[in-house]
Amino acid sequence: MNEAIVALVRFFRGSALLGFTPLVENQTLLQHAEDAGVEIPSNCTSGTCGSCMVTLLSGQIPLPEDLPPGLDDEFLIEQHARLSCIGIPSTSVDIELSPPL
């Protein structure tokens, strides 16, 4: 029996799994969170304010070539910060809802 492997977007707070949903191509993390029933604070939905910042624990969410104002700090990038309103996962990902400290 050959089963297809489904890519997942999983949301955590610490060690607690809050929800997950199948990866949908070209869909933002914020949209995935809504599909999973997980609330992520958001405001501008354009990457400007940074209120939807989360931490990428595993997987790939490519950064935009021109970093938006909400993610223009090199320290945040080194700590795997991503903005859920514009971040589009390209693989299965695990997301910590808290931003990097």
Using CA atoms, how far apart are residues 28 and 94, in angstroms rounded to an integer? 14
- pLDDT value of residue 2: 56
What is the rounded average pLDDT of the residues 70-75? 88
Using CA atoms, how far apart are residues 70 and 46, in angstroms rounded to an integer? 9
Hey, where are the domains in the chain?
8-96
Q: Does the pLDDT of residue 20 top 70, yes or no?
A: yes
CATH of domain 8-96: 3.10.20.30
Report the Cα 20 to chain-centroid distance in Å.
12
Using CA atoms, how far apart are residues 40 and 52, in angstroms rounded to an integer? 6
What is the pTM assigned to this prediction? 0.92
Buried b (16+ CB within 10 A) or exposed e, 43-60: ebeebebbbbbbbbeebe
Q: Decide if 61 contacts 83 (C-beta within 8 A).
A: no
- Average pLDDT of the chain is 93
